[in-house]
């Protein structure tokens, strides 16, 4: 841990120096990357400083305990009883902070929620998940920006794509990717039978232009008239955009913005995120071909969580964690799952 700490503290000094350099202010991309790294390293510096201070106090207390003055010796003894526990706590925090961290965790996230099997009930569940993530992110002080949304009937959502913006956005949400299943009695079910429906969640790190190089010749851009609610321009101008990335076949459509240019910019944002996610998934598959667990990234093809309404229970199947307060979870209180999944991922990382 000492070697990692020295490297982290040295890097923190380098980052602080770079941020103070006037030349950095003119490079927004570099400034953004350095800002994220500074936010990640600042807690390491703070805990290391506190740890050094307490370690010095412990050394002084040991010297004072040898003093002839009984009052000083008593004070020193009190410190000798208190300081080791505080130091152990700080050492554990520092160990956790110094674990290798995926730099993508500090990125904004692009989240895609789609109704799966279950018809209208699945669309209603997709809307529930969207509200759940909105409230969770609001509690964390992160912003939510809807990129596109396709509504279903009865207040449901067929598909919604949104950006979560703020510190640690992707790190918080990345393990939410996968199939979410709900078990409940639909409002339209007169016999009171429990139905099972599903929705899929994809969580992508927001890609920067340096991450994914997209050549204009690799794109086919089609424009068409928007459909559905959206203002005076709907159905009157070709403002909607469909972009096809020819080498991979990835297709992104966008029609929620008012102008063709805005729709193109939003579609390119989603396209870059999907291409970066594709690259990451391929690398992860190669690295973890023999691993059974997929806690680190979320196995998108498998059922990860069940929301059981009759028993007010939410179960995450990857870590066998159940919470018996479904209304609170759907109200955005996801911390118990997010923290446990992050811890399981770190334990998995240490065991490799």
Which residue is it, tokens 């811890």?
343
CA 5 to chain centre: 25
Question: Are the C-beta atoms of 207 and 280 separated by less than 8 Å?
Answer: no
Tell me how far CA of residue 197 lies from CA of 80, 179, 307, 310, in angstroms: 59, 10, 10, 14
Question: Are the C-beta atoms of 157 and 150 separated by less than 8 Å?
Answer: yes
**Which parts of the chain sit beneath pLDDT 70?**
188, 190-191, 209-210, 227-237, 284, 286-301, 349-352
pLDDT score, position 292: 42
Domains, the chain: 2-97 (1.20.58), 104-210+292-351 (3.30.70.1660), 216-285 (3.30.160.20)
Strands 143-151 and 240-245: unpaired
- The burial of 219, by beta-carbon neighbours within 10 Å (0-12 exposed, 13-18 middle, 19 or more buried), is given as middle
Residue 306 DSSP label: E
The pairs formed by 256-264 with CB atoms below 8 angstroms and a separation of 24 or more are 256/146, 256/147, 256/148, 256/149, 256/230, 258/230, 258/231, 258/233, 259/233, 260/223, 263/239, 264/221
Question: Are the C-beta atoms of 326 and 307 separated by less than 8 Å?
Answer: yes
Give tens-digit pLDDT for 208-246. Answer: 766 788 899 999 999 987 765 444 444 456 789 999 999
pLDDT score, position 63: 85
Q: Is 294 helix (H, G, I), strand (E, B) or coil?
A: coil
Taking the whole predicted model, whether its pTM rises above 0.75 is answered as no
């Amino acid at each position: 841990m000492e070697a990692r700490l020295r490297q982290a503290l040295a890097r923190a000094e380098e980052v602080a120096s770079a941020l103070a350099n006037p030349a950095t202010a003119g490079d927004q991309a570099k400034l953004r990357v350095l800002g994220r790294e500074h936010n990640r390293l600042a807690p390491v510096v703070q805990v290391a400083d506190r740890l050094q201070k307490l370690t010095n106090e412990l050394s002084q207390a040991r010297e004072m305990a040898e003093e002839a003055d009984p009052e000083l010796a008593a004070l020193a003894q009190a410190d000798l009883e208190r300081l080791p526990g505080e130091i152990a706590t700080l050492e554990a925090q520092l160990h956790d902070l110094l674990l290798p961290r995926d730099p993508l965790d500090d990125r904004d996230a692009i989240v895609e929620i789609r109704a799966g099997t279950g018809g209208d009930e699945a669309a209603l569940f997709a809307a529930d998940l969207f509200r759940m993530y909105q409230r969770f992110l609001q509690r964390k002080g992160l912003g939510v920006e809807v990129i596109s949304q396709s509504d279903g009937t009865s207040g449901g959502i067929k598909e919604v794509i949104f950006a979560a913006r703020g510190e640690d956005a992707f790190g918080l949400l990345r393990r939410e990717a996968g199939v979410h299943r709900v078990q409940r009695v639909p409002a339209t079910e007169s016999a009171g039978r429990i139905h099972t429906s599903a929705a899929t969640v994809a969580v992508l790190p927001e890609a920067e232009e340096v991450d994914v190089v997209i050549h204009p010749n690799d794109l086919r851009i089609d424009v068409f008239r928007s459909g559905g609610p959206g203002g005076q321009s709907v159905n009157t101008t070709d403002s909607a955009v469909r972009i096809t990335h020819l080498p991979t076949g990835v297709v992104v459509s966008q029609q929620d913005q008012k102008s063709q240019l805005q729709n193109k910019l939003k579609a390119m944002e989603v396209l870059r995120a999907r291409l970066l996610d594709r690259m990451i998934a391929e690398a992860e598959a190669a690295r973890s071909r023999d691993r059974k667990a997929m806690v680190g990234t979320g196995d998108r093809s498998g059922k990860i969580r069940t929301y059981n309404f009759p028993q007010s229970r939410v179960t995450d199947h990857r870590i066998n964690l159940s919470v018996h307060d479904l209304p609170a979870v759907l109200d955005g209180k996801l911390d118990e799952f997010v923290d446990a999944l992050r811890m399981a991922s770190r334990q998995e990382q240490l065991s490799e």
